[in-house]
Structure 1
Amino acid sequence: MGKSSSASAAGSKKRKSKSGALTLGEVKTLGEELLSSRAHLNHAPTLLALLSPSAPLDLALEALISLQSFFVPLLPSIPSASADVAGVDADPELVFRSWLRKRFDELVAALVELALSPRSDEAIRDLALDALMDFVKSGKDGRFQSAIYHKFLHNLIHATDSIDPLLELLGPKYFKYADVCYFTYTSLDKIASSVGNKSTGSEKSGLHSGDDGSEDRSTIYVRNIYNTLAHIPTLDLQESKFDMWSTVGLSSKGKKNSSEDCSATYINKKLKSKFSKAWISFLKLPLPLDVYKEVLATIHQNLLDACLKSSYLPAYLAAAFTKRLSRLTLSVPPAGAIIIIALIHNLLRRHPSINFLVHWENGANDSEPSNESSQRKKVGADPFNNEECDPTKSGAMRSSLWEIDTLRHHYSPAVSRFVASLKNDLTVRAKTTEMRITDFSSGSYATVFRDEVRRRIKQVPLAFYRTTPICLFQESDFPGWSFRDQLKNKSETSVEGNGISTVYTSDSSPAKKLRLET
């Protein structure tokens, strides 16, 4: 970096001063010279100055392509940001590497600004994101550059402008990779914890940035965290192979993973752990009302089925969740009941130890002690306490899914049919698999009605009885209850008076009076 680089810099200044601004041809020439020799290293700051949302699009695109081509091969030789720079002046190679570190940091910052700025054109935003992710993948030994990715996500979450355009790019292009999802959850966990600590400090000090009518910045950050989490698709953890963005996988350290660490079981375990930590850190934050409602509306798709997926959950916990869900079916709309039935179906398949909860019409489980069996048969005595917060004290292990059994007579045919299929699926386990909860999550009154009117009905209910009914309800539908005529035992009661005998018969009310001569 001597006279030649200085001369090159002076030449570029002369070209710029003559024309007032660089032309596209001049930018291409600067890029070609930068890639050809170290003598033209000072072209890098000139090209970096063009990476701005306000710069002409064609010049910014050309400068970005040249800088990306220049830095990618040099990434292994760029020292870390925390590297010791003592004695830099004594070693020309250290001077060069230190210069590379500063210019690379400037490039990353410029790429983050291009990706997040609402003034950026869609083309430059897309290319800036690809360049950032290329740097994330092409680090030393091919390991995932979590520091660069964390810096990008930190700026993403703390952006005050809308981040939806960038998330629409991130989702389909990069969130399909297991390692990208893993490090996204890791960074969001740290960022959510940091936002939570700042929010707590602001509350204690009584400082709120929204007192002037503008929205509190911490509220914006919470929304950004939720939007990012919501754009991460739920990976199919039953797959035997996961796609990776980096060559090493989930490791951000120098040592490469062994074949065991790259197995589906290892990746499955690590993803579940990071997924849980990120969501828990987010749910600890003071959520705005609209975000709180959105979380409640979508948690059945993202957080609940995945949390209950582990086969290592204790039986009492699975039973308590199953009973609490089944109790909800008594008060939810038909679409909600269908989602709950699907969740219970998956729980019963994953945890065979709670199959005794299934309510069969004909009686008890032969494997149970007689006293427990008789207690379960007792109508109206459900030992489950729906208000108990402690699963161990809820009494779910001594209860049954009678709520699901009542849905066999639900007013919505879609619900009653689904319950019937649940019984059949649990009977023939080898031929059935778990249900995808997302297939039922978009249901509503409208969708249930639309599906029902499209069905081809073989038998149409008619408004007459084949046989004259003698009671309002069938006793077989309500074991333990009796709906017989109270006057049946008094079918022939005579009252004598003034030579007239009146006989009450067990006909429809009121009973007929027959006048008989004595």
Structure 2
Amino acid sequence: MPAPTVKPVASKKRKNVKEAAVPSSKRRAVADPDRADATANIQELEDQISESRKYYNNIATLISMLSTDEAAKKPNMAVAVALCRVFSRLIAGGNMTETSRAAENEKVIVAWLKERCREYQKLLLSIIRESDSSSQQITALTLCLCLINERATHLPGEDIQVWSSGLFKGVFESVVEATNGQAVLSEFIEKTKEFEDVRYFTFMQLAEYATTERSSETIDLLISILSASDSVPGPEHEFESLYTQSSQKNKKVVSVNSQKKRAQDAWLAILRNNLSQSQRKNLLRIMVHNIEPWFNRPELLMDFLTDSYNVGGATSLLALSGLFFLIQEKNLDYPQFYHKLYSLLDADLLHSKHRSRFFRLMNTFLASTHLPATLIASFIKRLSRLALNAPPPAIVAIVPFMYNLLKEHPTCALMMHRNVRPESLKAQLEAEGMDDPFDPSETDPVRTNAIESSLWEIETLQSHYHPNVAAIARIISEQFTKQFYNLEDFLDYTYQGMLQAELGTEDRPFKRTPVVEYQIPKRIFTDRLLEEDGGQDTAPGSLVRELWGFA
């Protein structure tokens, strides 16, 4: 190269004149020839390995260039890519396959190549774990998968071993344990969604990895990997999207039952691990659509669902749909289902963000006309009692729900008719009061005596301060001419929505003038105004004035 004789002179002149003013991008451009020389050197070493076996020591040279002290965080990816090409050629050419008739020196060479390949694989895994650059982590992941493909395709006996206990196991663990590894995790998830054999062996590795108790952050990563695999293969599914051709010969990989079995084992390992409360709730939310379809034996979920159902609060609400699915579709027996469902009806439920979800589920649970009237009456009465202290958006959903139950179960209409009394009886009740036979402390919905009670709570709500609540409460006192109410029209009401509905009707006249204070009072806590000049008020006053100073 003739340039070196001129280059030092030019660089010496620039150094004194205006090197400090050169932008960083220009300074990097000046160093490009050195980078080009390094790239050419790497390419030359790679080409020599392809030419003759006498240059195999170049492999150790390339590995030494990659395995520096800062290689994991700031690796030379050009060397890593060159080594991947080198080992791919050696594997495909049979140079890393040991035959029984090979000479002793051939066996030594093959053993040496395998050792260098393992050393290279460890470096790639360390890059995935520790690199500061997400692009370098993704590149190292791609190189690992390329090696897996070559080993599974060309090395005899490694079509399963490289996936189950070989390189892929290290890849999975490195991706999960990578620092700042969100990007490489997303890339790995895309591979599991695209290739069905990668997904199969991911299930296998995850089930084994999750048998050991893991941290909450690690469990979140494992759940995200499993949740991404939401397309369950059907009975007639044909496995065509495979990363390695050798997977087509593996009957377990291309079997729907085997795929579901691996996913089932992986989910069970997660469910049996150290789950936090938020993780348990997240799993319950996706139970019916993402988890249960993967199970060949859904009854294995029974323990997890019943334990979650017994926790109480929002966790029990989220466990309802999964538990009811097992009861309805898989004929599993849970005798205390309605007993537990009744216990979930409390004041906290009507203020919960899961209120709409609960009403949708309860509408399904109580839809059967074969349920006893005493049971339905208990739910109606419990809801009417809770409505007394419920927020208006909850009452708006409760009353139509009760209407539909009364329509489906005419026997419970006696509770409604008991609200209609002669004037003489009304006067007597107002004077002497009434004992409600309903027992709110009874936990068994069949023994609450709700069927002997009445719906006086709903009649009370007809005088509610909110006009919409009062109007909808009156449907219980009117003739039941409507077949049923669509519950979805009432479940998503909020304070903000109800307020906007009132404020949005500016042209609607008031039926009566609202009662407001038209004159601001001059005093509240004192019997006489305090003197404006700071004098003391000597008039007798309340205890509040004695304890507080209002000057």
TM-score, normalised by the number of residues in structure 2: 0.50
State the 1:309 CA deviation.
1.9
* C-alpha displacement of 1:428: 3.0
Map 1:265-304 onto structure 2 (within 5 A).
278-282=304-308, 284=310, 297-302=352-357
Q: What letter is aligned with 1:98?
A: Q
Quick one: which of 153, 159, 165 aligns to 2:215? 159
Aligned match of 1:321: 379
Report if the CA contact (8 A) 2:438-2:450 is conserved.
yes
Aligned ranges 1:101-500 → 2 under 5 Å: 101-103=164-166, 104-114=168-178, 119-132=179-192, 137-138=196-197, 147-148=204-205, 150=207, 158-161=214-217, 195=274, 221-226=275-280, 228-229=282-283, 232=285, 250-251=294-295, 278-282=304-308, 284=310, 297-302=352-357, 305-306=360-361, 309-310=364-365, 311-312=367-368, 314-315=371-372, 316-341=374-399, 343-344=401-402, 352=409, 356=413, 359=416, 380=434, 382-419=436-473, 427-429=481-483, 432-435=485-488, 439-440=492-493, 443-444=494-495, 447-456=497-506, 458-463=508-513
Aligned-partner residue type, residue 250 of structure 1 = W
- 2:63 corresponds to which of 16, 20, 27: 16
Q: What's the CA shift for 1:25?
A: 2.9
Residue type of the partner of 1:65? T
Q: Deviations over 1:369-423 (max 9, x none)?
A: xxxxxxxxx9945432211111111122334434234323321122224445788
More helix by share: 2
Q: Choose which of 111, 119, 142 in structure 2 pairs with 1:65.
A: 142
Q: Which amino acid aligns with 1:126?
A: S
Question: Which one-letter code corresponds to 1:18 in the other structure?
Answer: M
- Taking the aligned partners of 2:305 and 2:185, their CA distance within structure 1 comes to 28
Aligned counterpart for 2:80 among listed residues 27, 31, 34? 27
Q: Deviations over 1:122-171 (max 9, x none)?
A: 42232233345557x537xx97975455567778x943449879988987
Contact 1:407 1:419 in 2 (8 A): yes
Q: In the alignment, is the contact (CA less than 8 A) between 1:326 and 1:404 conserved in 2? A: yes
Query: Is contact 1:177–1:245 with CA below 8 Å preserved after alignment?
Result: no
Deviation at 1:12, TM superposition (A): 4.3
Where 2:352 maps in the other structure, the secondary structure is: helix
Summarize the Cα distance change of 1:276–1:121 in structure 2 as closer, same or farther, 3 Å threshold.
Answer: same
Shift of 1:327: 0.8
Instruction: Give the direction of change, closer, same or farther, for the CA distance of 1:9–1:388 in structure 2 (3 Å limit).
Output: farther
Identity, in percent, stands at 17
Aligned-pair Cα RMSD in Å: 5.5
Closer/same/farther in 2, CA of residues 122 and 414 from structure 1, 3 Å limit? farther
1:281 is aligned with what amino acid? D
Please give the alpha-carbon distance, in whole angstroms, between the structure 2 residues aligned to 1:303 and 1:182. Answer: 32
The alpha carbon displacement at 1:69 in A equals 5.5
With CA pairs under 8 Å and 6+ residues apart, which has the higher RCO, 1 or 2? 1
8 Å contact from structure 1 (residues 144, 252) kept in 2: no
Distance change >3 Å, CA 300–CA 53, structure 1 → 2? farther
**Contact 2:392/2:466 (8 A) holds in 1:** yes
Write the deviation string for residues 416-462 of structure 1: whole angstroms up to 9, x where unpaired: 244457889974337x534277624xx34x55434322334634133
Structure number with bigger Rg? 2
> For residues 286 and 143 of structure 1, do their structure 2 counterparts lie closer, same or farther at Cα, with a shift above 3 Å needed?
same
Report if the CA contact (8 A) 1:143-1:251 is conserved: no
Corresponding residue SS for 2:276:
helix
The alpha-carbon distance between structure 1 residues 186 and 97, as it changes in their structure 2 partners (threshold 3 A), is closer
Compared with structure 1, are the counterparts of its residues 401 and 53 closer, same or farther at alpha carbon in structure 2 (3 Å cutoff)? farther
Q: SS of the counterpart of 2:361?
A: helix
Please list every run of 5 or more consecutive structure 1 residues that lacks an aligned counterpart in the other structure.
78-91, 196-220, 236-241, 254-269, 365-377, 465-518
Q: 1:32 to 1:18 in 2, by over 3 A?
A: closer
Per the normalisation by structure 1, the TM-score is 0.52
Equivalent pair of 1:51/1:60 in contact (CA under 8 Å): yes
Q: CA deviation at 1:64?
A: 1.5
**Structure-2 change in CA distance of 1:409 and 1:59 (3 Å):** same
1:266-298 Cα shifts (integer Å, max 9, x gaps): xxxx6xx78875454235569999xx9999834
Are the equivalent residues in 1 in contact too, given 2:203–2:263 (CA < 8 A)?
no
Q: Would you say the 8 A contact 1:318–1:354 is kept in 2?
A: no
